[in-house]
Amino acid sequence: MTTTALNTNNSDNPYLPFLSEIIDVIKHTEIEYTFKMTYSGAVKPGQFFEVSLPKFGEAPISVSGIGDGTVDLTIRKVGKVTDEIFENYIGDTLFLRGPYGNGFDIANYKGKEIILVAGGTGLSPVKGIVDYFSAHPDDCKSFTLLVGFKSPNDVLFKKDFEEWEKNLNVIMTVDTPVDGYCGKCGLVTQYIPDIPIKNSDQAVGIVVGPPMMMKCTITELFNVGFKEANIWISQERKMCCGIGKCGHCKIDDTYICLDGPVFNYTKGKFLKD
């Protein structure tokens, strides 16, 4: 990893990014790529980096995979910064700062029956959890991954799904099918009642996606007997700093960038913008 901390820079400066090299680019869709970046340091699923492009600005991006000396950033191209990130290729470098936020703590889920429900790019921040239990299936009682995408053309992490299907109960569904698609259709919520769970009052639910999807999914989990305290969510808000200063991510006395983005539902349900 190369850094250009010039001698005159104060290394304690929390706004100072470091250079990280792109070592692989995985194209999921036209507008969604995973960039595998060099990074060595502690990092958890659900934490995020600020990707910092001189001239264009910064964008918070979740860690979608953790490797040996690498982190994956799965980025959807939607605007100034993210468009520019897509102009980069293997061997190029990006400025990063972070990781920020609390992230998911795998220890909270070990030994449990787990249902993880993700909508679209919401899969990124929880993908590290899926990877972990796919590699260590004996660390939990059961693991169901329930993911919804808009259409078959929007499916992310196709290669990973092949791997996950070996050890986990995987349900993938799309809102709108296209010709030739023969998988499941409809909203994620309709599949929840059929997921086999022995003790729903002990089981863990992890839910990440667009606000409406999260709300409906959580209601459905309650319907099948899940307890509030066993449900975990991740929140997305506008963020300019990632370190509790700029104020944009604040909800009541909570700073999403510092105290979140991951919340237990007993706390998360009170967050009202």
Partner 1 sequence: MGYHTTPEKMNAIFSDLSKDYLIYAPKRFVGDGTFTDIDTIRYGEITDLAEIEFAEKSDYSFKEVLLPISETLFYFTENEMKEADPPKKGAIVFLRSCDLHGLKRMDTIYLENGAVDTYYKRLRDQTKFILIGCENSFDNCFCVSMGTQKSDDYDAYIKVDGQTVLVDSHWDVLDTALAGQAPAPVTPDSVTANDTVVTIPETVPQTLFDAPFWEDYGNRCIACGRCNFVCPTCTCFTMQDIFYTDNGKAGERRRVWASCHVDGYTDMAGGHAFRNDKGQRMRFKVMHKVNDYKRRFGSHMCIGCGRCDDVCPEYISFANCINKLNDLVNDTVKEEN
Residues lying near partner 1 in the complex (CB under 8 A) are found at 4, 6, 8-10, 12-17, 19, 53-58, 76, 78-79, 82, 93, 95, 236-238, 240-241, 243-248, 250, 252-253, 255, 257-258, 270, 272-273
Q: How far is the CB of 238 from partner 1 (least distance, A)?
A: 5
Contact 104, 133 (CB under 8 A): no
Using CB under 6 A as the binding rule, the residues of this chain from 137 to 196 that contact ligand FAD are none
Q: Assess contact for 85 and 75: CB atoms under 8 A.
A: yes
**Nearest Cα to Cα of residue 61 among 23, 17, 92:** 17
For residues 114 and 118, which CB has a smaller minimum distance to ligand FAD in the complex? Answer: 118
Q: Which does 75 bind (CB under 5 to 8 A by kind): ligand FAD, partner 1, ligand FES, none?
A: ligand FAD
The dihedral built from the CA positions of residue 48, 76, 239 and 50, taken in this order, carries a sign that is: positive
By CB under 6 A, name the binding residues for ligand FES. 239-242, 244-249, 255, 257
> What tokens appear for 53 in the block?
């492009």
- Report the partner that residue 134 touches, choosing among ligand FAD, ligand FES, partner 1, none (CB closer than 5 to 8 A by kind): none
- Full strand arrangement of the beta sheet holding 184-185: 184-185, 169-174, 142-149, 113-119, 204-208, 231-234, 262-264
Taking phi over 0 as left and psi of -120 to 50 as alpha, with beta for the rest, 160 belongs to: alpha
Residue type, 188: V
Binding mask 202-241 for ligand FAD (x = CB under 6 A): ----------------------------------xx-x--
Whole-angstrom distance, CA of residue 101 vs CA of residue 181? 38
Choosing from 26, 66, 71, 81, the residue that interacts with ligand FAD (CB under 6 A) is 81
The partner in contact with residue 6, picked from ligand FAD, ligand FES, partner 1, none with C-beta cut-offs of 5 to 8 angstroms by kind, is: partner 1
The residue at minimum Cβ distance from ligand FAD is 79
Cα angle, residue 191 at apex, residues 185 and 197 outer, rounded to 5° = 155
Q: Which does 124 bind (CB under 5 to 8 A by kind): ligand FAD, ligand FES, partner 1, none?
A: ligand FAD
